Amino acid sequence: MQRRRRKHRKPRGGFDFRRARTKLAVCAAALLCVLPALAAESSTASASLARPLAVSLTFDDGNADQLNALPILQKYNMKGTFYIISGSVGAPGYLTQADLQTIAGAGHEIGGHTVTHPDLATVPADEAKRQICNDRAALAGMGFSVTSFAYPYASLNTTVKNTARTCGYNSARGLGDIASAHGCAGCPAAETTPPRDAFELRALDEDDNTWTLEQMQSAVTAAENIGGLLTFTFHHVCDGTGCDELSIPTTRLDQFLSWLSTRTSVGTTVKTINQVIGGAVKPIVTAPASTNTTLANTSLESSTSGTGFPDCYMPGGYGANTPTWTRTTDAHTGTYAERLDVTGYTDGDAKLLPTFDLGACTPTVTAGSTYTVGVWYKSTAITQFALYYRNTQGFWQYWTSGPWLDAAPGWTQGTFTTPPAPAGAVGLSFGLALIANGSVTTDDYSFTAGSGAAAAAAIQASPTSPRRFAVPSRNSVKAGVFGKHAKPLVPSKPGQVIAPVEPGD
């Protein structure tokens, strides 16, 4: 049954003297009327204290601007849980290991959020295990006791839940299963304590720039009626006009925590997820690295993940242009291919790439070796190969690019042999980038080991090159492939390290 939210907050003492005075005036001729009024006020306060509420303040992804929350949390002596994508630690726009040490040193909890932030319900079981287990192992290797996990995109199934348990976590958080002004009508106002399922912790929908202070307060007062656990989820803490849409301004965060600090009188306290769930820190479990040396779904025939794109492939790009994607039956072989149309081009590019992961979709490579990549395509504008590599931490970064390829009205195979793979490279992804208004249709991707020496045509772009290249954002798709959790694509210059693809939860 859905409980009503309180419309008015009581004074800290738990007794509303104005209401009592009103009842005295109405019942002036009958002193006994005062006693029920006092008893009712006392009963309400006692009921609230008998149903304590824990509020957890969680921060996803390890975005660098989350440092803006630290002085506010410190001001009110509140501790949060920071769910970290271990592969993004130290990447531009993300917290560094030193930042994490500062956060943990202030008493906050460090939790896991996978290595590269994939949609876990759509990846093979061995990839999910690498993402979850090796993320926890990496964070433990940095010196943190890691017991709490959050599912990227709140995407999970029974296998994923069991994997989180197997990897040694004590809990795993979802999103959007608690009633609020932003959704889930008919859902409970709080998670129970102990939780119904520690590996599917129910939480409010993520905070973004459409939330108001009053809506946050209402979520708390509604939860106070039943007690339990109420979890807020933040991604960016940012002021100004250039902030990500998944941002809370520092002013609203400060106002909310100031108000929240007064709720101790009715049994509401702020706790980390670990403080609520408890349990011992379990041994570290690791998953073996991928030994895959081939591309998956090379003919783009399979598309079962619900993204609209071929399985094991994702869109990438950056800059001022508008890409439109179409799964087409105008294929080189088989039934399907992928068509990209770009309009409004000013700069940047767009392309289809094997999904940035830990080896289920992308092949492994060896430093110093060369490789030949290929794509069958037809196009109305110039294109070029853009290549990226992954290191052992999980960073995906720009590697190199091929020469421009002229427009091809009929099916043509484009190939490119790479320079020797850089030191530390363990995985490779590539795409045929459209760098002008026009269209390109791609099919039949290929990857083979090279001869040991780069082909003469291979071009290693220098950091001073006027042309810029890009990788998909952590959220992969601006156009809603992952719903409201998606974010825009971001640019990167040649040679720049960029974070693993996510999506933002």
The string of pLDDT tens digits covering residues 97-124 is: 999 999 999 999 999 999 999 999 999 9
pLDDT band at 303, cuts 50/70/90?
very high
Scanning the structure block, which residue is given the tokens 């088989």? 334
- Of the candidates 175, 176, 183, 124, the one whose C-alpha atom is nearest the C-alpha of residue 151 is 175
Say whether the peptide bond before residue 194 is cis (omega within 30 degrees of 0): yes
Antiparallel, parallel or unpaired: β 81-84 and 53-61: parallel
Does 201 have pLDDT greater than 70? yes
Contact yes or no for 189/204 (Cβ under 8 A): no
Say which CATH class 313-498 falls into. mainly beta
Higher-confidence residue: 392 or 451?
A: 392
DSSP state of 205: P
Q: How far apart are the first and last CA of the chain?
A: 29
**Residue 307 pLDDT:** 86
**pLDDT tens digits, one per residue of 41-89:** 333 344 445 589 999 999 999 999 999 999 999 999 999 999 999 999 9
Contact yes or no for 221/210 (Cβ under 8 A): no
Give the burial string for 163-189 (b: 16+ CB within 10 Å, else e).
Answer: bbbebbbbbbbbbbbbbbbbeeeeebb
**Residue 43 pLDDT:** 35
Helix, strand, or coil (residue 322)? strand
Does 496 have pLDDT greater than 90? no
Under CATH, what is the fold of the domain 52-277?
A: TIM Barrel (3.20.20)
**Residue 457 pLDDT:** 38
Sheet holding 337-343, edge to edge: 322-328, 337-343, 438-449, 371-379, 408-417
Per-domain residue ranges of the chain? 52-277, 313-498
What's the longest Cα–Cα distance across the chain?
103
Average pLDDT over residues 221-227: 97
Any idea of the CA torsion for 350, 463, 425, 166, to the nearest 10 degrees? -60
How far is residue 395's CA from residue 371's CA, in Å, rounded to a whole number? 20
Q: Tell me the sheet residues that pair with 388.
A: 398, 429
User: Using CB atoms within 10 A of its CB, is residue 443 exposed (0-12), middle (13-18) or buried (19+)?
Assistant: buried
Q: Average pLDDT of the chain?
A: 84
Does 254 have pLDDT greater than 70? yes
- Of the candidates 246, 268, 279, the one whose C-alpha atom is nearest the C-alpha of residue 473 is 246
Scanning the structure block, which residue is given the tokens 């902030």? 243
Instruction: Count CB atoms within 10 A of the CB of residue 38.
Output: 12
**Residue 146 pLDDT:** 99
**Residue 331 pLDDT:** 98
E strand or H helix that includes residue 379 = strand 371-379
Does 153 have pLDDT greater than 80? yes
Q: Which range is least confidently modeled, 125-139, 339-353, 478-492?
A: 478-492
E strand or H helix that includes residue 166 = helix 158-166
